[in-house]
Every structure is written in C-alpha cells, then in structure tokens.
Amino acid sequence: MKKIFVIISSMLVFATSCTKLSSLNDDPKKAVVVPGEMLFSSAEKNLYDNLTSNSVNLNVFRLLAQYQAQVTYIDESRYDLGTRNIPQAFWQALYRDVLKDLSAGKALIKADSALLPADAIIKKNKLAIIDITEAYTNFILVTCYGNIPYTETMDINKLDPKFDDQKTVYYALLDRLKADVAALDVSQGSFGTADLIYQGNVASWIKLANAMRLKMGLVIADIDNAKAVEVVNDAATNVFTSNADNAILEYLSSEPNTNPIWVDLVKSKRKDYVIPTTLVDPMNATNDPRRPFYYTATGSGAYIGGVYGSGNVYSSYSHVSAKITAANFEAILIDYAEVEFALAEAVARGGFAVTGTAAEHYNKGIAASITYWGGSAADAATYIAQPTVDYATLTGTWQSKIGMQKYIALYNRGYDAWLEWRRLDYPILNAPADISYSNIPVRLTYPVSEQNLNKTQYDAAAAAIGGDKVTTKLFWDKF
C-alpha cells in the first residue's frame, strides 16, 4: 500500500507540474476567444495597410504605375519582381491577413444568436458588409493574378485548393455584391465603431458597394459590354456624390496604427524614391495645383522628375510630400473623384443609362480630386479652363482624356492606377532603358509557394491563363 501511495503521489506531482509548465505557453496579453467584430476590424486595417504600404518587399504598384522611381536599388523598376518574392508577399497578405480574418469573423457572427428582430437585422447587415469586403479583396486578387483559389480557399481540409477560372470568379463577385446591396437594411446599424471606415453606417456601405460595382462593371466593358451595361446602370443610381462619401481609413499619430508610408519612408529613414517624369512633366505642363500636396519641390523651387527605371540622385529630384508621409495621413479605398471619372467613361462609351455629359462628370472628377487634396474650387475651375485640360478642346480619345486625369487623381493609390493603365492603356508610361513597352507587367506571377506546394493546381492555372508571366494579359484586358 505504501508503494502504491508513493507512486500515486508521484503521478499527481508530475501532473500538477505539467499543468503549471503548460501554462507557460499561454500569452496572457493575447485573447483566447476573439469576437467576430474584432476580426472584421483587423481585416479592414490589413486591407488598407497592404494597399497603402510603400514597402518594396510587399507593394510595388506605385512603381508599376510610375508614381515613383527608384534611386539606388532599381530591380523592381526594371520589373524584377522575383528576387524579393513580391508576388508571394502580396498574395499571402490578402489571403492570410484579410480573407482569413473575414472568414473567421463571419463564422463567429453567424453563430451569434439574435434575440430581437432588430438584432437579426444588425447581424444580417454585418454579414453583408463582411461579404462586400471579401468580394472586393478577391477582386484585387483576380485582377492582379488571373485564375485564383476561390471556392476552396478557406477549407482547412483542402491543402491543394484549385484555382478557379478568373472570369467565373469575377462574375460571381458581381453577383455577390448585388446580393449584398439588396441585403443591407438602413433601418438598423451594423458594426458601430468596430467598422473603421464608416462606423457601421449602412447607407454608406450601400454607396461603397455600388461604387465597387460601377468600377468592376467598366473593367469588363471591352469584353462584355452587355454585362457592363447591366451592372453599371444598376449601380450608378446610388454611388458617391461628394468627398464626404470617400471610403477612408484614418490613421493615428502613434504606433502601431500609423500610416504605413510614414513607417516605410520616415521612421525607417529610407531615401529610396523620387517622383518620375511620367507624373511630374504633365502636371507641370498644366500648372496642376495638386503638385505641392503630392510631392516636394527641389532646392530651386521647381518640381523635377527623375528617370524611371534608372538610378537617380535623391537630392536632385522631387520626393513624396510631407502631407503624404505624415504619421496620421489617411488612406483611401475608393473615392468620389474615381466615381465621377467612371461615370464620365460610361457616358463616353455610349449605351449606358447614366445622366449628364462626359465633360460634366470629367470636370466633377477633377474638382473632387483638387479640393480633396487641399486646393480650392477656384483652383479647380482655373485648371479645368485650360485648353489642354478642358474636355472639349483637349485633343485625343476619351480614353486618353479620362485616362490621364484619372491617373493624376489616383496618385498614392498604386494598385488602382496600375489597373486603370492596363484597362485604358493611358497614360503612356516610360519603358525603362533596354526594356520594350510590351514587357511592362500587366499581372503579377503566382507565388513560389504555390509552385512548390500546390504544383498540380498551379500548373493547370498557369496553362489556363496562357502562361505564368508578367506579360500575360488577363481575360478583361482586351487591348
């Protein structure tokens, strides 16, 4: 009996010790159970952070759109995107840090019981808003890579998710957004302050979803005009009507919620970028009032652009402005100026039920951009009145007119500018020395991780889109 008692006592001591030791693996500062609303907030911030980042290891779209030129390390400006494995970094950031949080948040909110009718409406609104954010994140992925994992991405039992056809995914996203708009009910709220963009305002989310649909409808206008007309006509009746509607994330002056550009360029003390002639020269030619808000003047007081795709002396050229590199400078997902340029395009194309003229919407887009950045209505009027800006007197096609002004207005939003250049083929970019214009990237290649860990599905996807190359055009990029 004594021996049995000793053995049992020893086992109890061992078990107690193991319990105490296992507790060392728990981080008391991290929540074990996270509310779905918190995961939505995290996903919103991660989406904005990744699209706003100025880190060459993650987001090179300002370089691809030629909003920035590099100084010393010029690999990315010459379209070497593989050395730093940029396609994988951007892919992982959206799937892991945005879509995964949205998926988990949606599951938790679905599991919540709605006790009152008002609670049921709020729950429904939350789920629709999460779905809108999921749809737009997938829109970025499908317009960046082509065929993507979509239907099997969040299934933990699928270690080798299939890549869905890009056009099929795209049209499914359009259907989802339409259903989400219909599901939203303005009689109740949604996330409240957990929504970092609109603080739960459901009417604002309806406008944002419609702005997304307007944008996405025009992307396919060259290859499916009938579908584009259907989507745009339905969405255009309730979109942004002023800068007050802009989908903005306001950063703070203190970390960890600061503007990513401040982290990448100021805190890090990096001096890697200058503004290229691609942007500076046309803005100088029209005395654009946005120049002091966009970039710095040189010592002589002039705005001077560097050479894209070549080494530049940092002190000789204009840089990103102090306004943009401020720790608390906000980020934009979609704004009123972009909406007006989209409406201008719809009218210019013809066949769309959009009221007003192309010139009227074009002017509103320019004015919205100038006043948002800090210029006055008078500044906008003077700028628009110039023969080289006025829609009626400016030479060129509607694509070149709207494309150039939209390009200027999208400054600091590299991905959107790159998307518009691929879609409208304007402005004319500057090909780096010894690189042909046709070799400017029109997509990112698939991540190396997919090539190594999901090879069968990767091979099928690469073959389906016409080859895993940066020069492979996606289904909507007809011209």
Among 184, 208, 185, residue whose Cα is nearest residue 198: 208
Q: In the 3-class helix/strand/coil scheme, how is 144-188 assigned residue by residue? A: HHCCEECCCCCCCCCCCCCEECHHHHHHHHHHHHHHHHHHCCCCC
Distance separating alpha carbons of residues 118 and 110, to the nearest angstrom: 15
Number of residues that make up the chain:
479
- Per-residue model confidence (pLDDT) at position 26: 60
Among 165, 181, 177, 163, residue whose Cα is nearest residue 217: 177
Distance separating alpha carbons of residues 295 and 293, to the nearest angstrom: 6
- Per-residue model confidence (pLDDT) at position 24: 54
Distance separating alpha carbons of residues 149 and 133, to the nearest angstrom: 17
Q: What is the DSSP string of 11-29?
A: HHHHHHHHHHHHGGG--TT
- Per-residue model confidence (pLDDT) at position 155: 87
From first to last of its 479 residues, what are the pLDDT tens digits of the chain?
333 334 334 433 444 444 444 455 566 555 556 899 999 999 999 999 999 999 999 999 999 999 999 999 999 999 999 999 999 999 999 999 999 999 999 999 999 887 799 999 999 999 999 999 999 999 999 999 999 999 999 988 888 999 999 999 999 999 999 999 999 999 999 999 999 999 999 999 999 999 999 999 999 999 999 999 999 999 999 999 999 999 999 999 999 999 999 999 999 999 999 999 999 999 999 999 999 999 999 999 999 999 999 999 999 999 999 999 999 999 999 999 999 999 999 999 999 999 999 999 999 999 999 999 999 999 999 999 999 999 999 999 999 999 999 999 999 999 999 999 999 999 999 999 999 999 999 999 999 999 999 999 999 999 999 999 999 999 999 99
- Per-residue model confidence (pLDDT) at position 29: 53
Q: What is the pTM of this model?
A: 0.93
Could you tell me the CA-to-CA distances from 32 to 28, 29, 246 in Å, in that order?
A: 9, 9, 35
- Output DSSP code: residue 193: G
Distance separating alpha carbons of residues 75 and 213, to the nearest angstrom: 35
